A = this chain, B = another copy of it.
Amino acid sequence: MTASMAERGEGKQALFATLGARFGARFSQGQSLREQHANTLTWLKREPPDAVLFAETEAEVADCVKLCAEARVPVIAFGTGTSLEGHVNAPFGGVSLDLSRMNRVLAVHEADLDCTVEPGVTRKALNDQLRGSGLFFPVDPGADASLGGMAATRASGTNAVRYGTMRDAVLGLTAVLADGSVIKTGGRARKSSAGYDLTRLLVGSEGTLGVITSLTLKLYGIPETIISAVCPFISIAGACNATIAALQLGLPLARIEFLDEVQIRACNAYSHLSLPETPTLFLEFHGTPSSAREEVEAFATIAQAEGGGELAYAEHQEERTKLWQARHDAYWAVRGLRPGAEVLATDVCVPISALADCIAATREDIDQLGLVAPIVGHVGDGNFHVMPLIDPADAEERRKAQGFLDRLVARALAAGGTCTGEHGVGQGKIAYLAAEHGPGLAMMIAIKKALDPLNILNPGKLFALP
């Protein structure tokens, strides 16, 4: 990268002229479109790209990457823009490569319980298309994110405890690398020992090693019986201990979600409910009629021993939705607590034995700071989100929130955990990777440099390269 700024600027204009000629109206430098393609959901500042390109085929993705590489201009893959860590920002400018129009389900193999999709298909769109097949795709981050974006950030959600994360869900994928070459990783076999696990290397690489152009995903049969349940607890420790006991007993819980009393209060206000304002678990059981009921009973016994109140449960779809209303609306309820505020997204994940202490210490920290910050946890995985609501114009509040985040991550790392369970690093967690990975960070950077020597693919994410 020895070109002068002027030369690079000229190269960029020439590139944009080429892309405009090649892609017509699907290439745009319009301001509002560029702003829609920057981070919009969290307190991280918006850094719009120079231009947006809507790709419709793998070949177009490859062309775009090749042309950008020649001109030394960054390429930022974009799905739905629902990332919480600034993944779609363009700190060094460049082209936002919007894949939302690559939204076809290419194949569903019912006998093999898998499907192949383009990266712009969202998780809800996939499940809509699977309707009638008796199959479903389980991974469910809060947003209706694109499956390419979910793979790129190694996303999960409420039922990872039973069905795993995107790490587990992706059997194989195709991707365009930094030099414009197209690779296919994995396949449709359920397991393989044939060389380096390129699938898992690309899943979670946040667009820094390649742009995903298709994914083969595992599917599951819709369970015969689904029972939803809600159980209030006296203490956070009680809710966490009940979770540990259920996991140790091997109860195959499909979902076990924790909401603290602040979050329940927010949900009561937002969704007009009257839940007891106390730490609460929301559960879901998948099985046959008898196995699901057996699990509910087993969990009720466990909960009682840990100070749990009465377990409310429901089997019919409509009642289940009503029972879980608070959980479904949690994110919007949080925002309702302080209109106009920005959310600081946090996402630590710890060994489950450390969860109760980690949440308790975090709650204490919040209370001392006087922050408004509900807690929602995928407690079966040891993963929880604290969501401080911050006035972006208040420097003192931002400083407080930053200190809070630093301590939260330090607490998680000290317990053997991670700074991010499912959101990814993006821009917001870069500062913590050295502490989490030590010399492993140098190994990551060595891989990045080998595969993207020009640092074209989503620069400024995951790590700050020199």
The residues of A with any CB-CB pair to B shorter than 8 Å are 109-114, 134, 153-156, 160, 165, 167-168, 177, 181-185, 187-198, 200-201, 203-205, 209, 220-221, 223-224, 244, 247-250, 252, 287-288, 290-291, 294, 347, 349-353, 381-383, 412, 415-425, 429, 432-433, 436-444, 446-451, 462-463
Q: Copy number in this complex?
A: 2
- Output the least CB separation between A460 and chain B (Å): 14
Contact of B221 with A421 in the complex, beta carbons under 8 Å: no
**Contact status of A248 and B192, CB under 8 A, knowing A181-B439, A183-B439, A203-B197:** no
Complex contacts, A194 vs chain B, CB 8 Å: 418-420, 424-425, 429, 432-433, 436-437
Q: Of the candidates B198, B250, B417, B424, which one forms a contact with A193 in the assembled complex, judged by CB atoms under 8 Å apart?
A: B424
Nearest CB in chain B to that of A438: its residue = B184
Contact of B113 with A196 in the complex, beta carbons under 8 Å: no
Q: Of the candidates B188, B191, B448, which one forms a contact with A383 in the assembled complex, judged by CB atoms under 8 Å apart?
A: B191
Contact of B433 with A195 in the complex, beta carbons under 8 Å: yes
Q: Of the candidates B353, B432, B433, B442, which one forms a contact with A112 in the assembled complex, judged by CB atoms under 8 Å apart?
A: B353
Complex contacts, A290 vs chain B, CB 8 Å: 290-291, 294
**Interface contacts beyond A112-B353, A195-B440: sample of 20 additional A-B pairs, CB < 8 Å, sorted by A:** A109-B353, A165-B191, A168-B168, A182-B439, A184-B439, A185-B437, A189-B349, A189-B381, A190-B351, A190-B382, A193-B347, A194-B419, A198-B437, A200-B201, A201-B201, A201-B447, A221-B249, A288-B291, A288-B294, A291-B294
Contact of B351 with A447 in the complex, beta carbons under 8 Å: no
Contact of A349 with B190 in the complex, beta carbons under 8 Å: yes
Complex contacts, A155 vs chain B, CB 8 Å: 193
Q: How far is the CA of A432 from the CA of B192 in the complex (A)?
A: 13
**Contact status of A183 and B443, CB under 8 A, knowing A112-B353, A194-B429, A196-B205:** yes
- Output the least CB separation between A447 and chain B (Å): 6
- Output the least CB separation between A300 and chain B (Å): 15
Complex contacts, A382 vs chain B, CB 8 Å: 189-190
Contact of A177 with B451 in the complex, beta carbons under 8 Å: no
